[in-house]
Amino acid sequence: MNQISSLNTTSWLLALLLAMAPPLWAEEEKPAPSIEYLPLGSKLIVNLAGHHRYLRADAQLMVTGKENLERLQPYLPVVRHTLITLLSNLPPEQVVDVEQREKFRQEALAKVRAALDQYSSSEGLNDILFTEFLVQ
């Protein structure tokens, strides 16, 4: 009788383990796409609106996956043009304050996405990071 009860317990445990195990034919999980950074090339230098002051900025695009990085690279002139147009309309007061810069960064991201969508797609573009902001 003990052998039968032990056999039943073993069978139940084996059945439970098999039920919890993933099927052998299940696909392996793909790793999350990598985050890539795409520099815009040379620094952006513009006259600020209404004053004899200059702004020098450098920025990079944060992109998900190498395929998006390669797809967006030919559109860097569109991104640069969009940013130069936006930057040259800024009053100097707006680039000195950190909160105003953050608002500008968010506006720039929205405008760059719109420009990329006009010519191709902004898919994979996560953010714009300004790595230099110098006002003279």
Average pLDDT over residues 9-29: 67
State the pLDDT at residue 66.
Answer: 93
Strands (E), 40-121: 44-47, 54-64
* Residue with the larger pLDDT of the pair 103 and 23: 103
Entry field: residues in the chain: 136
DSSP H/E element including 127: strand 125-135
DSSP-derived letter for residue 134 is E
For 105-134, how does the pLDDT look when each residue is reduced to its tens digit (9 = 90+)?
Answer: 999 999 999 999 999 999 999 999 999 988
* pLDDT of the residue at 52: 83
Torsion angle defined by CA atoms of residues 21, 24, 27 and 32, in that order, rounded to the nearest 10 degrees: 50
For residue range 38-93, what is the model confidence (pLDDT) as tens digits? Answer: 999 999 999 887 768 889 999 999 999 999 999 999 999 999 999 999 998 888 88
CATH (one of 3.40.50.10470, 3.30.479.30, 3.40.1030.10, 3.40.50.2300) for 35-135: 3.30.479.30
Distance between CA atoms of residues 129 and 4, nearest Å: 69
What the block records as the tokens of 127 is 């953010």
Task: For the chain, give every domain's residue range.
Answer: 35-135
Is residue 94 within 8 Å of 53, Cβ to Cβ? no
Complete DSSP assignment for 70-92: HHHGGGHHHHHHHHHHHHHT--H
Residue 19 reports pLDDT greater than 90? no
Q: Averaged over 13-31, what is the pLDDT?
A: 67
Under a CB-based contact definition with an 8 Å cutoff, are residues 61 and 38 in contact?
yes
- What is the pTM assigned to this prediction? 0.74
Q: In the prediction, which pLDDT does 119 show?
A: 94
